Chains A and B, each alone.
Chain A
Amino acid sequence: MNEEKQLTRQERRALRREEKESGRGAASRRRILRRALLWGGVIILIALSGWGMAKFVSSDPLNVKTVLLDAVSPDDWVFGSPAAKHILVEYSDFQCPACGLYYPVVKQIMQEYGGSVRLVYRNFPLSEIHRNARVAAFAAEAAGKQGKFWEMHDLLFERQKSWESSKDAADIFLGYARELGIDADKFVADINSTEVRDNVDRDRQSGLRSGVNSTPTFFLDGKQITNPRGYVEFKQLLDKTLGVSTEGQP
């Protein structure tokens, strides 16, 4: 206490200033550290979540590959040579835009591989999101009862845009039936028959059993394949499968 008294006023002021400054220095250093941690954390958080999201999306957990449980039966619509060894099963929805995009791809594939690959079409109408998908499936089945399944299948996909949002899709399909030279009365009766309904439901049930949750879903020789992005990828996939299996034969 004595000592302190001995200090002049000026000295005391200088001392206080010094204390203040050194305190401020430590505080500002702490503050810089805190800010560095904060912004570093923010950057790491954003980078990690972006990376995680990219990984999550490309692994696509909804797209677990499954196997086809229901084998091809005489009830199925089969396109291609009976001698073909390989079978491509497609679960599809006539109103689904993606299925419409795949239609020309599959058609071209079948033109090229028709000798070694058979195409099986099974209905998987997503009636929850596509209002006319079910009636379109009925139309194809009804046309099939007069031997024109594939002709109606083609027309439905080619003209998808003109009926997808129509309130009278059944009338439009009747027009297609007439165009294909199908007996109109029988077509109308068939489209409303329980048999046709049951066929479509049976297809859809078999798809659900095999884990189909989106359309189109393809099974090549009983194994689900990742949807190829376009004709070239589809061709590569088939070449690989066909090549491997012929090599594997004794």
Chain B
Amino acid sequence: MISKRIVAGFIAVGFLGFLDSSYLAAKYYLGTPINCSIFEGCNQVAGSPYAVMFGLPVALYGVLYYLAIFIATIAALDAGSAKIFRLVSWATVLGLLASAYFTYIQGFVIGAWCLYCLGSALTSTTLFVLGIFARRNVVVSQ
């Protein structure tokens, strides 16, 4: 059995992360990032060389990651598969590590904070914590 609440948390937080990173990705491709705004250090961060990996913006990897979490959780729910859900819960470790790395880069290398990137760090950390509960929950109820 999978706890409904944790599944709902995964879906909601995954979708939130998807919205957040798709904003950054859309901004990368469509926006006019060539502006220094009073409100955010976003452009300084999003305009830095760390914002691009293997030729693609980091935000796009974020979109794919959150989308995968979102869809896989729904698939687990649909198939009633605790196995898929366990896999999803382990995948959140990836998100946590990536977020830790990029938060470090923002704070110690670039020296500017990007609000939306911090938002993504928050959602991926939440997913990781939910993942811990999910695994415990699945083990207990099996």
Contact = CB atoms under 8 A, between A and B. Distances in A.
Interface of A: 35, 38-39, 42, 45-46, 49-50, 53-54, 56-58, 60, 62-63, 93, 96-99, 101-102, 126, 128-130, 165, 213-216, 226-227, 229
Contact of B32 (A39, A63, A93): A63
A38 B22 contact: no
A53 B47 contact: no
Contact of B26 (A57, A63, A129): A57
25 contacts: A38-B78, A39-B74, A42-B70, A42-B71, A42-B74, A45-B15, A46-B67, A46-B70, A49-B22, A53-B23, A56-B26, A57-B30, A57-B31, A58-B30, A58-B31, A62-B37, A62-B39, A63-B32, A93-B36, A97-B43, A98-B43, A126-B38, A130-B36, A215-B35, A227-B35
B37 A229 contact: no
Contacts of A60: 31-32
A45 B43 CA distance: 28
Interface residues of B, number: 27
A53 B26 contact: yes
Contacts of A93: 36
Interface of B: 15, 18-19, 22-23, 26-27, 30-32, 34-39, 41, 43-44, 47, 67, 70-71, 74, 78, 111-112
Q: Which 10 pairs across A and B sit closest by C-beta, in order of nearness?
A: A96-B36, A214-B37, A57-B26, A214-B35, A98-B34, A215-B36, A58-B30, A53-B22, A53-B26, A57-B30
Given A50-B22, A57-B26, A98 B31 contact: no
Given A129-B36, A213-B39, A227-B32, 15 more contacts: A39-B78, A49-B19, A53-B19, A56-B26, A57-B30, A57-B31, A58-B26, A62-B39, A93-B36, A98-B36, A99-B36, A129-B41, A214-B38, A215-B35, A229-B34
